[in-house]
């Protein structure tokens, strides 16, 4: 029975406390929320940080505080920093966690263009390689798989990256099961050694998770960044509640949630 890594995206750059009071904003709130999610079974934390006014931040001190707290309270948990983040200075994206997200192309988002020029992508990939940071390749469009393949051919990432398909963002890739099959076919053709997951945004979270588990995904993703609700009648009480729901989905598919050590092994991250 192959274990499944449960990743929790705790905050993101969009939801505010007015949307769900459980969204953790300050470093102390983020650490506490991540610890609760870890205790519920999450072994990878995807981190954005915010300013005090809840706007997206690139402050390295805030990233460092959150990382320090997770290291202290969540032994072995994989810390993954975002290199995206709407409203942030692209030149300020980056730090030294276990992993970092890496989008390999630009895409339309609900109200902006999420811009990732080829030069920026190469710069980020080079920095991650030099820093020993494992990338998670964020796929918002089929062409982004080909962008990842070019990075492999250039020697900027290794041939076994971790790939995440992001589905259900308005104006970007739809949450469609047939589309996921197309993406998986292309992934297996272009990057056959990759590990993979799929993230569904908003109301698509549970269904995309189910599609991924049915197809043998190495990981699933949940958390308040992507979805602030349990269902249309109730807000999620915490990141931990969403992690618990993800763990139940893993069990329904005859698999089990990975331990922290297993998560590191699955994703090729040194202990």
**Coil, strand or helix at 48:** coil
Q: Say how far apart CA 180 and CA 189 lie, in whole Å.
A: 14
| The pLDDT value given to residue 84 | 66
Summarised one tens digit per residue, pLDDT across range 193-226 is: 999 999 999 999 999 999 999 999 999 999 999 9
Instruction: Report the pLDDT averaged over residues 161-185.
Output: 97
Per the prediction, the chain carries an average pLDDT of: 94
Q: Say how far apart CA 215 and CA 223 lie, in whole Å.
A: 21
- As a whole-number percent, the residues of the chain with pLDDT over 70 amount to 95
Distances in Å between the Cα of 200 and the Cα atoms of 9, 102, 116, 226, 261 are 12, 18, 21, 7, 26
| The pLDDT value given to residue 270 | 81
**What is the DSSP pairing of strand 99-103 with strand 78-81?**
parallel
Summarised one tens digit per residue, pLDDT across range 231-241 is: 989 999 999 99
Instruction: Report the pLDDT averaged over residues 227-234.
Output: 95
DSSP 165-234: EEE--TTS----HHHHHHHHHHHHHH-TT-EEEEEE-GGGHHHHHHHHHHTT-SEEEESTTT--EEETTE
| The pLDDT value given to residue 86 | 36
The dihedrals phi and psi of 180, each to the nearest 5 degrees, come to -60, -40
Partner residues linked to 45 by β-bridges: 8, 79
């Amino acid at each position: 029975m192959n274990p499944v890594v449960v990743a929790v995206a705790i905050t993101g750059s969009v939801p505010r406390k007015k949307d769900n009071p459980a969204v953790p904003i300050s470093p102390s709130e983020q650490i506490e929320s991540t610890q609760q999610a870890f205790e519920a079974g999450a072994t990878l934390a995807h981190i954005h940080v915010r300013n005090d006014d809840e706007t997206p931040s690139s402050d390295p001190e805030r990233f460092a505080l959150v990382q320090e707290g997770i290291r202290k309270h969540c032994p072995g948990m994989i810390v993954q920093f975002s290199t995206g983040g709407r409203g942030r200075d692209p030149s300020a994206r980056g730090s030294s966690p276990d992993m970092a997200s890496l989008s390999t192309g630009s895409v339309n988002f609900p109200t902006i263009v999420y811009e990732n020029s080829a030069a920026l992508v190469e710069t980020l990939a080079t920095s991650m390689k030099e820093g020993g940071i494992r990338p998670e390749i964020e796929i918002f469009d089929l062409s982004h798989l080909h962008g990842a393949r070019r990075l492999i051919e250039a020697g900027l990432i290794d041939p076994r990256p971790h790939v995440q398909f992001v589905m259900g963002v308005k104006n970007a890739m739809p949450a469609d099961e047939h589309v996921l099959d197309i993406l998986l076919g292309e992934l297996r053709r272009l990057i056959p050694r990759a590990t993979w997951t799929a993230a569904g945004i908003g109301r698509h979270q549970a269904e995309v998770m189910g599609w991924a588990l049915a197809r043998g995904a190495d990981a699933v993703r949940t958390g308040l960044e992507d979805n602030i609700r349990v269902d249309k009648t109730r807000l999620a009480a915490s990141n931990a509640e969403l992690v618990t729901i993800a763990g139940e989905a893993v069990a329904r598919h005859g698999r089990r949630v990975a331990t922290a050590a297993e998560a590191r092994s699955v994703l090729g991250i040194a202990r």
